[in-house]
Amino acid sequence: SSWEGIRATPRAMALYGRTDRASPARSRSIATRVGALALFLAVSVPCGRSAIDFVCGALTRTPKRPQLRQGPAVQLHARWKTPAKGPSESPDAAAWKESAAVLVKEVEGCTEQDAEAFLREGFAWTRSSKRFWRSARKEALPDVEIVQAAVQWLKERDLATRSWMEKFPEAIGLSVEELDRCRETAPSYLKQEAVFLKSIKANPKLLGKNYDCLEDHDACQGFCSRCWNT
């Protein structure tokens, strides 16, 4: 029973790999019994000094905690949280800065930080924008001409504001042809200009729709982010 008492102490439990924990009162009682046992062994047994060393070691030794290694899931999560490098860090940073300057100047309320965020979305540098652009674009450098034309198109319709751009920043990466095609492919009830403008002001993401898979095909063509049927 004395050895069982040694196994029940918190330190001994850690030594022997026990997971259950004793209450404070029980631990004090067991520690008293262990001390008495050690004293008895020291007096009556020739190898009592070794017994004392063993008992004291069990009571005072702190087991080493194993070093935790990051598994594949942890490493993948850390990689997701790492922000992607933007084109401003590439050799072609001039195009990035020029495009950002256009946004700061032409978009109402847009700051330099906003412009950088809009460009990342408009040219597929973020996960959310990559879902929109799919295979059409991936981490592309900003095209100043496309940005200027898109901003001008939006300004003519009173949409070049920070509050509107925050809801659909991918618009600055769309060409004028794609922007015009949005209304051309829209459902019949949205083809009137006044209704169309009112709709995209209320729901900016509609401006990204410029395809109707059921008009030319009998099944989905995989362009769901741009299709009016989604």
**Which 3 state secondary structure label does DSSP give 37?**
helix
Q: Mean pLDDT lowest for which of 39-43, 46-50, 151-155, 181-185?
A: 46-50
What Cα–Cα distance (Å) separates residue 33 from each residue in 37, 39, 87? 6, 10, 71
Please list, in sequence order, all residues whose beta carbon lies within 8 angstroms of the beta carbon of residue 33, skipping any fewer than 6 positions away: 2, 5
Contact 174, 197 (CB under 8 A): no
CA angle centred on 33, ends 18 and 45, rounded to 5°: 105
Render pLDDT for 82-141 as a digit per residue (tens, 0 to 9): 344 555 455 468 889 999 999 999 999 999 999 999 999 999 999 988 888 888 888 888
Mean pLDDT of 63-92: 47
Render pLDDT for 153-179 as a digit per residue (tens, 0 to 9): 999 999 999 999 999 999 999 999 999
Q: Which pLDDT does position 37 carry in this prediction?
A: 62
Q: Which pLDDT does position 1 carry in this prediction?
A: 42
